[in-house]
Chains A and B, each alone.
Chain A
Amino acid sequence: MIDFAFFVEIIPTLLSGLPLTLQLAGLSIGIGFALALLLALAQQGNHRMLVWPIRSFVAVFRGTPLLVQIFLIYYGLGQFRPTLQAVGLWWLFREPYWCAIIALSLNTAAYGSEILRGAIQGVPRELVEAASAFGMTRLQTLRLVVLPLALRQAIPSYSNEIILMVKGTSLASIVTLMEVTGIAQGLISQTYRAVEVFVAAGAIYLTINFTIISALNALETWLTPYRVRA
């Protein structure tokens, strides 16, 4: 029943999409994290002029489907080609690759900023007070006290977000990027063997996710040596 020869045939084809999947995921998770951290920190000051636009950005990107965001950036902004050409940004919005990365990054920045905002607020006040009693500047307090604790605290929630992003890269196939899911869809319509292709492509994603979760678990354990638990 199980046709190993068929798996041997399709797995290399599917794996040829892996570099693109990993690039999309890696770049957007990296850019998204940097943006998320900025957005989370900007909200700490409670300046209304900063907080209000950030909250709106977060609400919009969390309240609409990622697919709509990709289409809006790729097809929607394409409508403003002359303007984009005039400001020299057309090269960016012309490429489905960059549009997918922009959409994925903004999306994960919105979710990530909420995770980091919660984690930063979760750092005990006394620690910040103690740091300023030591004569640390605000930047030193942030760098040496608040961020190390907050980022460690955020690892479990953030790893969920990273998994969602890895899965999210599959939507890039809808704007013509042939990553693993795009190749899988092509294979299914060529061979009519949906189950086998699903199993093979699914195994690739599960392996990526398993690797990420193990690495982040190891990082968390390494950062909390005194809290050894099962």
Chain B
Amino acid sequence: MTDALHILSVGKGGWGGALLLAAGVTFALSVLGFLLGALFGAVAAGGRLSTRALPSWVAKGYGTVFRGVPDLLTIYLLYYGGSIALTEIGKFFGSAGFVGLPTFATGVLAIGIISGAYQAEVYRGAYLAVDLGQFEASKALGLSRFQLLRLVIVPQLMRHALPGLGNVWQLVLKDSALISVIGLVELMRQSQIGAGSMREPFVFYIAAATLYFLIATVTGSVFRYGEARAWRGMVHA
């Protein structure tokens, strides 16, 4: 027990500092990936809701593929596919070796693409939950399409979307551990390094699990607070 505490201490010879830093990387990776996913998700939800065939079809395909294929495969596709393309470009300019994609950016992109597919479903459902009268009233007020979305629909849509977005966020946070396979030193990778170096896998993976759990719990309550705020003054079941 004292051994474990010594290994995980923040000071000299301890791994605590490195693990906390890596938890910071995990958090940053997840937040940026989630935000990128919000962008992809909003565009895809727009496509799904479109009455035209092509956007709706493309958005549906995007959702089916990235929600149905293992996230690990998507990560390999982006990392190796991107690196292979980059290596070809490097060859053109006379470089000989393998050029790896920057792992943090690849991770953000991978999480963005995967979580976007899930977020699209959340936004679509939330959009459909907004009362039709709101659209008619906005039209009667003479609001433009952009004003309608920005001033009337999105604020109400977010109210319905928040619980679903909270679920997607939890998924993102746990998915971020998979980015360790392409070598980004986030919480999972840092624990592997520590476990290998100190030959104490149990201590390091328990520490990693605890940190993931803490981030998930704290951010989960932020979402719940946001939800309560979004519904303030409204009567709902």
Residues of A with Cβ closer than 8 Å to B? Answer: 59-60, 62-69, 71-72, 75-80, 163, 167-171, 173-174, 181, 184-185, 188-189, 192-195, 198, 201-202, 205-206, 209-210
User: Are B80's CB and A188's CB within 8 A?
Assistant: yes
Q: Kindly supply a per-residue 1/0 record for chain B positions 197-237, scoring 1 wherever the CB is within 8 Å of any chain A CB and 0 otherwise.
A: 00011100110110011001100000000000000000000
| Interface membership of B108, Cβ < 8 A | no
Known: A65-B176, A194-B77. 12 other contacts (CB 8 A): A64-B213, A65-B175, A72-B202, A77-B202, A163-B67, A167-B69, A167-B70, A181-B76, A188-B80, A192-B84, A194-B84, A195-B81
Which chain A residues lie closer than 8 Å to B200 at the CB level?
79
Residues of B with Cβ closer than 8 Å to A? Answer: 64-65, 67-74, 76-77, 80-81, 84, 170, 173-178, 180-181, 188, 191-192, 195, 200-202, 205-206, 208-209, 212-213, 216-217
How far is it, in angstroms, between the C-alpha of A194 and the C-alpha of B205 when the chains are bound? 31
Which chain A residues lie closer than 8 Å to B213 at the CB level?
59-60, 63-64
User: Are A201's CB and B188's CB within 8 A?
Assistant: no
How far is it, in angstroms, between the C-alpha of A192 and the C-alpha of B82 when the chains are bound? 11
How far is it, in angstroms, between the C-alpha of A76 and the C-alpha of B213 when the chains are bound? 18
Residue of B nearest to A66 (CB): B174
Which chain B residues lie closer than 8 Å to A60 at the CB level?
209, 213
User: Are A79's CB and B180's CB within 8 A?
Assistant: no
When the two chains form the complex, which single residue of A64, A76, A170, A195 contacts B174, counting CB atoms closer than 8 Å?
A64
User: Are B70's CB and A205's CB within 8 A?
Assistant: yes
How far is it, in angstroms, between the C-alpha of A226 and the C-alpha of B201 when the chains are bound? 55
User: Are A76's CB and B201's CB within 8 A?
Assistant: yes
User: Are B178's CB and A72's CB within 8 A?
Assistant: no
29 A–B contacts, CB within 8 A, in A order: A60-B209, A60-B213, A63-B213, A64-B174, A66-B174, A67-B177, A67-B178, A68-B177, A71-B195, A71-B201, A72-B202, A72-B209, A76-B201, A79-B200, A167-B69, A167-B71, A169-B70, A170-B73, A171-B178, A174-B72, A181-B76, A185-B76, A192-B84, A195-B77, A198-B73, A202-B65, A202-B73, A205-B73, A206-B64
Which chain B residues lie closer than 8 Å to A77 at the CB level?
202
* Nearest 8 Cβ contacts at the A-B interface: A170-B70, A194-B81, A65-B177, A75-B201, A76-B202, A65-B174, A198-B77, A194-B80
Known contacts A65-B188, A80-B202, A163-B68, A75 near B73 by CB under 8 Å: no
User: Are B70's CB and A68's CB within 8 A?
Assistant: no
How far is it, in angstroms, between the C-alpha of A69 and the C-alpha of B202 when the chains are bound? 11
Known contacts A67-B188, A194-B76, A202-B73, A72 near B64 by CB under 8 Å: no
User: Are B177's CB and A72's CB within 8 A?
Assistant: no
How far is it, in angstroms, between the C-alpha of A92 and the C-alpha of B147 when the chains are bound? 62
A51 to chain B, nearest CB (A): 19
Which chain B residues lie closer than 8 Å to A193 at the CB level?
84
Which chain A residues lie closer than 8 Å to B65 at the CB level?
202, 206
Known contacts A79-B201, A194-B77, A170 near B72 by CB under 8 Å: yes
Residue of A nearest to B69 (CB): A202
Which chain B residues lie closer than 8 Å to A198 at the CB level?
69, 73-74, 76-77, 81
Which chain B residues lie closer than 8 Å to A78 at the CB level?
201
Which chain B residues lie closer than 8 Å to A65 at the CB level?
173-178, 188, 212
